[in-house]
Amino acid sequence: MAVNLDKPGRWKADITKSVDMYNDWFMKFAPEAFRSTRVKTTKDVEAALYATGNMATITPSIIRDNPDILPTLRMSTCPPLAVDRLIGLSGVSSNLVKSLEKNKLPSRMNSGLLEKDLQRIAGIILTMADPDIFVWLGRKMPPEAAEIHRAVTIVADRLCGAVANPIIRNAQEKRQLAAIRSWLEAQGYRLLQNTDAVRFDSMPSGTFSFRMNVPVNLEGGVKQVNIPVDAVIMPRKRKKGGLPVFLEAKSAGDFTNTNKRRKEEAMKMSQLRSTYGQNVQFNLFLCGYFDSGYLGYEAAEGIDWVWEHRIDDMALFGI
């Protein structure tokens, strides 16, 4: 039985309630997230300026010894450089830049090529260093303490915008999974602690797990890969040979990003059904900005959903 996908008459009211719920959470959580992020990013910027002699010296060895310095360097240019823009301008390996962004060096990169690519990155940063932030560059007098503090503040502000959003998304997902857990445990379900030892389709009845890997077939069944599913729930009244209910927790702070991401769920549904049959229950747990365009797309793909503000609808999935 469909829960929400076949009831477009109530989508508009649910969208409004969902947006209000997300905004209420955001107003309470976001200020603290930004404050804690600001403290960390300010320390990162201060460390970067110290390592580079206040942006006077940027060498391959500095980047190699401090790979976590790259985000600060990208935000120190005019204009600030996105990861892909830096890759395009420098002509270096995307794997190198993305590894540096994760605070590590590529494990298999030739040392000579690594040195050359790091030099290219350093050259781009030095050429594009923002003279309105680092006002001491090009003059003989060293920077004053007030000038350094001002530069740190500006770059930290730039970094906060880039770093805080993922922190907010992760916190929202954590909160959503906590809500699912609380609801399930109230219904008598038990969380599986060691999911590595249990395959998803052999879970005991009345149990659930988070972020479980589910193997699916690719390329006509020739290749198999694991896809992560946020919540996997084996109903208490499990039919013989029955599959668990798959649930993806989704939140969004604006309508634009949801429409960009809507194909991700359709792809997972397609992979699951092509591997395990048309009876697969793959549903969404939504909170935030999901408009009628998004909902209509998912409904057309046969994907149903539960709104977090009406979490008791989960029972309608047979849970």
**pLDDT tens track, the chain, 319 positions:** 799 999 999 999 999 999 999 999 998 888 887 788 888 899 999 999 999 999 999 999 999 999 999 999 999 999 999 999 999 999 999 999 999 999 999 988 898 999 999 999 999 999 999 999 999 998 999 999 999 999 999 999 888 877 777 888 888 999 999 999 999 999 999 999 866 567 888 889 999 999 998 988 876 666 788 889 999 999 988 777 788 999 999 998 888 777 667 788 888 888 898 888 888 899 999 999 999 999 999 999 999 999 999 999 999 999 9
What is the per-residue pLDDT for 267? 86
Give the whole-angstrom CA distance, residue 243 versus residue 212: 14
Report the residue count for the chain: 319
DSSP the chain: --SSTT-GGGHHHHHHHHHHHHHHHHHHHHHHHHHHHHHHHHHHHHHHHHHTTTTT---HHHHHH-GGGHHHHHTTBSSPPPHHHHHHHHT--HHHHHHHHTTS--TT--HHHHHHHHHHHHHHHHHHB-TTTSTTTTSSSPPPHHHHHHHHHHHHHHHHHHHHHHHHHHHHHHHHHHHHHHHHHHTT-EE-S-GGGS-GGGPPTTEEEEEEEEEEEEGGGTEEEEEEEEEEEE-TTPPTTPPPEEEEEEEESSHHHHHHHHHHHHHHHHHHHHHH-TT-EEEEEEEE---HHHHHHHHHTT-EEEEGGGGGGGGGGT-
Give the whole-angstrom CA distance, residue 249 versus residue 175: 10
Structural domains in the chain? 8-28+168-317 (3.40.1350), 32-165 (no CATH)
What is the per-residue pLDDT for 10? 93
Among candidate residues 26, 20, 23, 24, the one with its CA nearest the CA of residue 164: 26
How far, CA to CA in Å, does 22 sit from each of 15, 28, 43, 44, 183? 11, 10, 30, 30, 19
pTM over 0.95? The answer is: no
Which residue is associated with the tokens 């605070």? 103
Distant-in-sequence, close-in-space partners of 256: CB < 8 Å, separation ≥ 6: none
CA angle at residue 113 from 110 to 119, to 5 degrees?
140
What is the per-residue pLDDT for 282? 93
What is the per-residue pLDDT for 264? 84
How far, CA to CA in Å, does 198 sit from each of 127, 240, 263, 276, 307? 54, 17, 29, 18, 29
